[in-house]
Structure 1
Amino acid sequence: MAVLPRLTVAQTDALAGRVLDRCREAGVVDAGAPEVDWERFHALRERLYRTFQVPTTTLTPLSARVLYGVSAMHLPRSVVVLGCYAGNLMAWVTAPVLGPGHDPAVVGRAAVGLDVDGAAVETARANFAAAGFGPGVRTVVGDAFDVATHAAGTAWDLLLIDVDVPGARKSGYARLLERWLEHRGPGAVVIAHDVCHPVFRHDLGGYQAFAREQGASASLTLPVDECGLEVSRWPD
């Protein structure tokens, strides 16, 4: 089997830009959303590669760009990550609003990552501190299904779901979505990771239809790599 050549950095940027244009067209981000600042992305990328310790990850360079781009276009005030692990995926969706070089004069922004793995949460905390993320970024040892504890008094704008429950794997995405939707802000965006992975096809095959049943105004599957992303948006 022939091995396909790896994309250059510029080619990956261009491909990510086309994926994000598709997000505009599908309505999962505003048509008038700001363009992504790729120079800022690359500065972040260099910093994260230098400071983050990630034991293992399936995240690809293209997927990282798309995660960053969706957040940079949406500019959420509040981010929640269910299954934050060592903070790798969380970093890309949080950086546009609370990452290194963020404007400290902009207050009221927050990001919280939940994971049941205490060691992973400690790694995430160390990673965010080493990379210079803002004090509004927190990682907490907790069960994402315990919404009453972790969502009280909040109204999130961007939710990233990446849980992997022993024995149940990705089958809990729909239940998590349903419970956390009670605490969404206007125009909230939800990103689900692993929706294209063949191992999780049975778990997540009905996820997009469920999101629409729960009121999503737009939902788009992005097969950016073997894992894939589903980006859904709720009305204002």
Structure 2
Amino acid sequence: MDGVIGRFLTEEDDGFDPCYDTLLNSPMSDGEIFQFLYAQLALRALFDCTILDMMLNGQLRGDNLGFAYLPPARLAEPPTSAPRKGILVVFQSQEDTEPRFLCFPEKKTGSGESRDESVRLISFIDLGQGKQPGLQELTKRGLIGETIVESCIQDDGFGRYWPLDRLYCKDIETCGTVARQAIHWGTNVCVDSPQASEAALKELFDLYAPVYGVDPPTEEGLHDYVVFRWVPEVVRKIRG
């Protein structure tokens, strides 16, 4: 991410590290908060899987998120390079509804506290140390990476673990128009089942639509973006 561990201990705490504990996570933009919440909801909705061990001492651990910047489209070399104009989200909850679209541009200059830089794609999220039921099958299918560390399964009192029916939304610095509102929403939503998570995905999309909703792009236009697709055909295929 930013070279950040995010332990946030002070000099009065045991185990204080003058390097790690003086670093701060950079604020997460509207598009990054969307990805962060979307990933948690999609994992639960698709696989009944919950991200574990993302907090430490009540703060988001920066080493559990991997960001990649999207370079300008002119630097891409098809067909091996990913699209570069931004991130596009396609959402269709049912077969009898029309798909809707969100677009997070590659470069967005906000006002005031917003960052003026390229949007970051969350390229990986650490699911947590220790194996959960079904994760080995997802690894075999190539949908997630392999779990290689099985320690730290028990809560050690450092505030690593979050209630399993809640999203990780604690103490996250944000910038942008919708991010803080999305964090407030995510703090209060209950996701105690795959069905509840799927319903929450629609709520998340509705929250962003007034600001980031766009008209349907052409099929060729889709090739210019990193695309998140939540549509019935894709959902059925991933669920297997």
Q: Is the TM-score greater than 0.5?
A: no
TM-score bracket for this pair, using the shorter chain length: under 0.3
Structure in which a larger fraction of residues adopt helix: 1
TM (norm. structure 1) is 0.24
TM (norm. structure 2) is 0.24
Between Structure 1 and Structure 2, whose CA radius of gyration is higher? 2
